[in-house]
Amino acid sequence: MNAPSTAVEVPRGLAGVVVTDTEIGDVRGEEGFYHYRQYSAVELAESVGVEQAWHLLLHGHLPDDDELRDFREHIGRLRVIPEVLDRLLPELCEASDDPLQTLRTALSVWGSATGLRPLYDCDESETLGSALAAAAVTPTILAAAHRLAQGLEPVPADPSLGHAEDYLRMLTGRPPSARELRAVEQYLVSTMDHGFNASTFTARVIASTGADLAACLVGAIGSFSGPRHGGAPSRALQALDEIGTVDRAADYVRAKITAGDRVMGFGHAVYRTRDPRSEMLKRTALGFDDPLVDLAVAVEDTFERTLAELKPGRPLFANVEYYAGVVMKLAGIDPSMFTPTFCVARVVGWTANVVEQSRDSKIIRPAARYVGPPAPQPVPTRHPARTTP
């Protein structure tokens, strides 16, 4: 039997383990509440735009009118793709039609082309500048990658427009309506940050090594691309498409649970009550007069009642992915761009977390509990002879 490890044992997946301090925000799962710094994130999503929330996460306060004007102008200029990357994007898209995969490679190129230095060697001003530039150029890269994958010409960034408006215009090739813009802006603000989720934690682990900011984001995107994390909005909408009519919803859930499958768009690792982001996006969706909204609301009710029956004592409510897919589709975003659009929001939180982590000189280096064969054992003096094929 193995000797017990001297490491402190923690829950699987580090659930509930506090690994550092942060001033950026917090998720109170038992209360169904989360906040960015001192403000309710849901209230911010319902009352301010992307630039105000971004400024809050990165700089610690909501901007006044002059600060907001300067901030918008600055990130507008940073949204333009550098020439060297602009030339390479068509080739990157030939290698993959997945915009997130293209973004991972593109940000590596962008980091090299712009001369990003390791965070270890940067002062606060340089780190902040890199964080702003990376988050600003991300939606431009994603929109261009999507259009190139569709055989369409990319739409150049317009620095005079707001961040969300320009993203939708570059993505769809047309100016968004006021309702579409506000819906997507609410989605983006509400999903910028959400505690130490897998991708945020990944970014901070890499930042703790002193690597450059692009490396932190490439790692975060890799984590984010997984279906258990950022890859769920399109899958939740796909479930609605498969169900088609509400009378089929209960049987759909029963079949999933019987097969041991996850019901995409329901349940959350932290919330033990309703997901406040889902509740807010549901209100946003109800602002659209569309049969998809009626179906989503009816299916949500059936899903929750059936899940309560099948899994008593385990609250499973709609999470942010459920209504996110509905809102994005109604705003004219192709389902293939649901997760990349989530990334447009989350990159703001990742970069704010990287900046905060860069101030800490301690590398993040946890331990693992060894469960392999007992050690030490004598090393064999003779090895089996190699077989010749």
Look up residue 36 and give its DSSP letter: E
The answer to whether the CB of 52 falls within 8 A of the CB of 68 is: yes
Rounded-to-integer distance, Cα 389 and Cα 312, Å: 57
Tokens of 323: 């209504």
The distance between the two most distant Cα atoms of the chain, rounded to a whole number of Å, is: 77
Name 192's Cβ contacts closer than 8 Å, sequence gap at least 6.
36, 41, 53, 54, 57, 345, 346, 348, 349
User: Token digits for 363?
Assistant: 């590398």
What 26-32 contacts at long range (C-beta under 8 Å, 24+ apart), as own/partner pairs, is 26/195, 27/194, 27/195, 27/270, 27/271, 29/268, 29/270, 29/271, 29/272, 29/273, 30/272, 30/273, 31/273, 32/271, 32/272, 32/273, 32/274, 32/275, 32/276
Tell me the catalytic residues: 268, 321
